[in-house]
Amino acid sequence: MTTPNEVSVLFVCLGNICRSPLAEGVFIHLLEGDGRLLDVRVDSAGTGAWHVGNAPDPRSREVAERNGIRLPSRARQVRSEDFHDFDLIVAMDRSNLHDLASLQRKHGGKARLALMRDFDPEPGDGEVPDPYYGGPSGFDRVFEMVLRSARGLLDELGG
Ligand code: 4NP
């Protein structure tokens, strides 16, 4: 459960093996290096269940490791409690956001829903694109978007 000063953030994509574990790992890494010592609980999940229990995709692990970041998470699916347990649920693309909004209508909960790139200071189409069926360069692009957006989110939470 969330303690009084804690903020909780859940990153969500489709499979929870490419984008959202990367966002989780990058955000934890930024928090660890941040002097403000914010109390943030961080997790990630997928709207789909195909990869439940799996480690992140090797291509996400590779780009993370190249940048000094470990990705410790195992894939899990979004569950009804997430909408009650998390303050903020951050979707990677509009399809994820749409699926989350449908789930929240069904399950209720106070969580604020947002798009990851709402926090990206650089202009774009608002989405972190699904890199799963593409080549390794897609993962580099995703990493850069996720890093910029995670910095923006941290600044928003840190005030
Ligand atoms: P992610 O990428 O949503 O960023 O984890 C995907 C991973 C797996 C699949 C789709 C997207 N899939 O269809 O299995």
User: pLDDT tens digits for 83-138?
Assistant: 999 999 999 999 999 999 999 999 999 999 999 999 999 999 999 999 999 988 99
Question: CB under 8 Å, gap of 24 or more: what pairs does 61-66 form?
Answer: 62/136, 62/139, 63/22, 63/136, 63/139, 63/140, 63/142, 63/143, 64/22, 64/25, 64/26, 64/143
Ligand 1, pocket residues at CB < 6 Å: 13-19, 46, 50, 130, 132
CA of 15 to the centre of ligand 1 (A): 4
Dump pLDDT digits (tens) for 52-82: 999 999 999 999 999 999 998 999 999 999 9
Q: Are 20 and 57 in contact (CB under 8 A)?
A: no
Domain ranges of the chain: 7-156
Residue 11 CB: number of other CB atoms within 10 A? 32
Q: In the CATH hierarchy, which top-level class contains the domain 7-156?
A: alpha beta
The question of whether 13 is a catalytic residue gets the answer yes
CA of 136 to the centre of ligand 1 (A): 14
